Amino acid sequence: MGRRPIPPTVRRQAARLREEIVHHNYLYHVLDAPEISDAAYDALFRELQALEAAHPGLQTKDSPTVTVGAEAAAHFRKVRHRTPMLSLQNAFTLEEVGEFQDRLLRQLRVVRGYVVELKIDGLAVSLTYADSVLRQAATRGDGVEGEDVTHNVRTIADIPERLPAVPGLHLPAVMEVRGEVYLPRSEFARINQAQQAAGLPPYANPRNAAAGSLRQLDAGITRQRRLRSWVYQWDPPPDGIDSQSQALDALQRLGFAVNPHRARVATVDEVEAYLRRWETARQQLDYETDGVVIKVDDRHQQEEMGAVSRSPRWAVAYKFAPEEQVTEVLGIDVSIGRTGVATPVARLRPVLVAGSTVRHATLHNEDEVARKDVRVGDRVSVRKAGDVIPAVVRVLLELRPPEARPFEMPESCPQCGQTLVREPAAAGRYCQNPGCPAQRRQHLLHLAGRDAFDIEGCGPAVVDQLLARGWVSTAGDLFRLGPDRLADLDGYATRSARQLAAAVAASRRPSLARFIYALGIRHVGAVTARALAEHFGTLAALQAASEPELGAVEGVGPIVGRAVAAFLASATGRAMVADLLAAGVVPAPTRRSDGPWRGQTVVLTGTLSRFPRSQAEGRVRGLGGTAASSVSRKTTVVVAGAEPGSKLERAQRLGVPIIDEEEFLRRLEEAEGATPEG
C-alpha cells in the first residue's frame, strides 16, 4: 500500500513550525535570549512531532525533532563531545508517565527500581577529567558539538579541579561527568540589581543569567556570578558502579555537588507521589526546576532499553504544569463590564495552563490588541501566573495564516447596540447605556461578590436566571426576593433556596465601606471605599460631601473624587442608592471614636448561622468596637457559634464572658439602635 499523499497545507505548516523552532533554538542556545517560554516551545515541538507522526515522509533529516539544540556560537572554540549529549523525552501528564512505564515493562518485564531527580533548569555542561584532573568543560551546543568553556567553569566553586582518591573506586583514565550549571535565585536577584544599577538590561530569568555568565569571554566576570552546579551523569562509570543511584552516591563522595532531593523508588506509585510533592515544593528551592527526571536505575536495564535518535529510552522528563502555553485564537469577542467598559477578549482553543483549562484571555483594550497585533487565526502564547486572569503574551508571527485580518473594535455595544464612546482620559471605549443588560449582569455579580455584599451562592448561574426570568432588574430587587421565588430556580431545592434567601437577608447590613464598594463607582475599589467610609462615617455624610472634599480624602485624590461626586449626583447613582435603601439595605456606619462599643473587644469563634463572619466583624467595628482573632484577658466577650474551637476553651479558662449568636445579635441591634444612622 502506498503512502497517503501529504496535503500542501500540512507541508507548509510543518515547514513553518520547523522554521519557528529552529529560530527559537538559536535564540535559546546561542543568544541566551529566548522569546517564548519553555512550555510554549514544547507546544510547538509537539505539534511538529504530531504532524510528522501522522504523515510519514514529512520528516526531514534536519528537522529539529531529530536534531538537538542549536549550533555553537562562533566566538568560543568548538569541541566535539565524545558521545552525543542527548536530550530527554517529555511527559506532561501522569498518563504519559504511565505510557513510559508501559514501554519499559514491554521490553524489560520488570523494572528493578527507578531514580527520580529534580530537573534543574540551567545549562547542561560536560566535564572531562583525565587522571583525576579537570581538563575540559563544554556546553551542550547541538548535542554533537559544543563550546569550550573550560576557563569559566574553573571559576565555579563546587566543581572539583582534582578528584580525591576514594577507597574502592578505580576511576577510568579519561571520564566525563555531566550535569547542570545554574544560578541560585538569590544570586539572580543580586546580579539583576547590579545590571540595572550599571544601566544594563536585566536578565529575563536565572537560566539566561547563568548562560550569559558562563559564556563570558572574561572568566573574571564569571567568577563574580557565583554559579553552582548539580551533576547527574557519569560516562563511563568505574567498574562496580552498576546503577544510577550508585553513580550519584559515588560522585558525591568524589566531591561533586549532587542534588540531595534525589530518591530511589521501587514503584510508579512512589514516582507519582514524588511528582506531586515537588510540583509545589519546588517553589521553596533557591534554584529553578522545570520538572522531574525519571530514570531506570539499573545500568544493564538502561543498556537494554537503549536510545532513539534524540533521547534515551530509559528516562523521561516529567514537566511541571507550565504557566505559559501556545494556542489558537478562534475569535475576538467584546465583553461589556460593570462600568460599561468594552474589553476585547480572545476566544481560544481550550488549552491547559498551570493546571486549569483556559478558554478566554483578556486583550485589555483596543490599543493593546493593536500593539500586540492579535488576529483571529493567530497562534498566541497565553500566560497565567498565580491566580490572575489569563493574558495573551505574544503572537507567533511566523505561524500567522495569510488570511488573518487586523482586529477592528466594533462601533456599538454588542449587547445593547448603543454607540461605544471612546473616552479621552481612558484607554477604552464605554457603553454609556445604564440599562445595558451586560452592565446590569456584571453589576449584580459585583454586588454579590466577596468584597461587596458577600452573598454566598449568588454566582453567574443564579444571576443569569434571575435576569432571564425578569425577577431582578435593579440591585435592590435582589433583596426583594423571597425563598418561594428562589425555590423556583432551576436546580434549586428548597433547602438551597432557603440558604440563598438567608444569605441575601443576612447581607442587608453591610459595613459602609462594602456598601460604597458595591455601588460599582468607576475607580472605586475596596481600598478606596474603605478610605471614604472611614473618613465620612455615614452614608449621609458621604452624600453631602462636595467634590473637593471627596478629592481631599487621604488615598482618594481628585480624579477618583470627581468620579464619586459625579456618580452620587447622577440620576443613575441617586436611583441606585435610593433603591437599595428602599429594599431594606442599611449600611452600618463606620467605627466612630464615639461608638457605643468603643474600648470593647469581641472575639468570634465557630460558625455563625445568621450572617457571614466578615459582616459580624464589620458591625462590631461600626459600633466602635474591635473584632479580634484571639482571646486574651482583655477580651470583653466571646461569641460562640456552632462548633467553636479552642478559643472557647481559652475563654473559659480565662473567665471571659461567653455569649451565643442570638444574644450577640440582640446586643448588636440594641447598640445600633442607639447610634445615629447613616
Nearest CA to 179 out of 134, 114, 216, 223 is that of 134
Q: Identify the active-site residue in 78, 119, 372, 647.
A: 119
Q: 119 to 148, contacts with ligand IVH by CB under 6 A?
A: 119-120, 124
Q: What residues form DSSP beta bridges with 138?
A: 126, 148
Nearest approach, Cβ of residue 120 and ligand IVH (Å)? 4
Question: Are 69 and 139 spatial neighbours (Cβ–Cβ below 8 Å)?
Answer: no
Contact call for residue 175 and ligand IVH (CB under 6 A): no
Residue 78 known to be catalytic = no
Q: What are phi and psi of 331, to 5 degrees?
A: -170, 165
Q: Which is nearer to ligand IVH, 312 or 414 (CB)?
A: 312
Q: How many residues bind ligand IVH (CB under 6 A)?
A: 14
Question: Given its phi and psi angles, is residue 655 left (phi above 0), alpha (psi -120 to 50 degrees) or beta?
Answer: left
Is residue 233 involved in binding ligand IVH (CB under 6 A)?
A: yes
In the bound state with ligand IVH, the residue whose beta carbon lies nearer, of 233 and 245, is 233
Give burial (CB, 10 Å; 0-12/13-18/19+) of 655. exposed
Confirm or reject binding of residue 614 to ligand IVH (CB under 6 A).
no
CB 180 to ligand IVH: min, Å:
5
Instruction: Verify binding: residue 293, ligand IVH, rule CB under 6 A.
Output: yes
Minimum CB–partner distance for residue 151 and ligand IVH (Å): 21
- Binding-site member from 138, 317, 532, 568 for ligand IVH (CB under 6 A): 317
Nearer to ligand IVH, 211 or 531 (CB): 211
What's the closest the beta carbon of residue 310 comes to ligand IVH, in angstroms?
10
Q: How far is the CB of 45 from ligand IVH (least distance, A)?
A: 11
Binding range to ligand IVH, per CB under 6 A, among 118-126, 399-407, 597-605, 645-653: 118-126
User: Closest Cα partner for 64 from 138, 117, 14?
Assistant: 14
87 interacts with ligand IVH by CB under 6 A: yes
Query: Whole-number minimum distance, CB 153 to ligand IVH, in Å?
Result: 15
The least CB distance from residue 182 to ligand IVH, in Å, is: 9
Residue 218, judged by CB atoms within 10 A of its CB (0-12, 13-18, 19+), counts as exposed
Q: Which residues of 439-465 are buried (b: 16+ CB within 10 A; e: fewer)?
A: bbbbbbbbbbbebbbbbebbeeebbeb
Q: Which of 17, 39, 88, 392 binds ligand IVH (CB under 6 A)?
A: 88
Place of cell 530511589: 264
Among 17, 36, 72, 86, binds ligand IVH (CB under 6 A): 86
Q: How far is the CB of 600 from ligand IVH (least distance, A)?
A: 59
DSSP symbols for 350-391: EEEETTEEEEEEE--SHHHHHHHT--TT-EEEEE--TTSPPE
* Tally of CB atoms within 10 A around 166: 13
Stretch that binds ligand IVH, among 115-123, 444-452, 460-468, 549-557 (CB under 6 A): 115-123
Binding positions for ligand IVH, 297-316, rule CB under 6 A = 312, 315
For residues 84 and 238, which CB has a smaller minimum distance to ligand IVH in the complex? 84
The number of helix segments (H) and strand segments (E) in the chain equals 24, 22
Residue 236 to residue 173: CA distance in whole angstroms: 10
**Cβ pair 329, 378 in contact under 8 A:** yes
Helix 8-25 vs helix 38-54: crossing angle, to nearest 10: 150
Q: How far is CA 620 from CA 415, 452, 628, 678, in A?
A: 42, 17, 10, 16
Cell numbers found for residue 584: 431594606
State the amino acid at position 72 in one-letter form: A
Binding mask 502-531 for ligand IVH (x = CB under 6 A): ------------------------------
Which span sits near ligand IVH by CB under 6 A: 40-48, 116-124, 505-513, 624-632?
A: 116-124
Cβ count near 5 (within 10 Å): 9
Nearer to ligand IVH, 177 or 656 (CB): 177
Site map (CB under 6 A) of ligand IVH, residues 193-232, x = contact: ---------------------------------------x
Active site residues: 119
Residues that bind ligand IVH (CB under 6 A): 86-88, 117, 119-120, 124, 180, 232-233, 293, 312, 315, 317
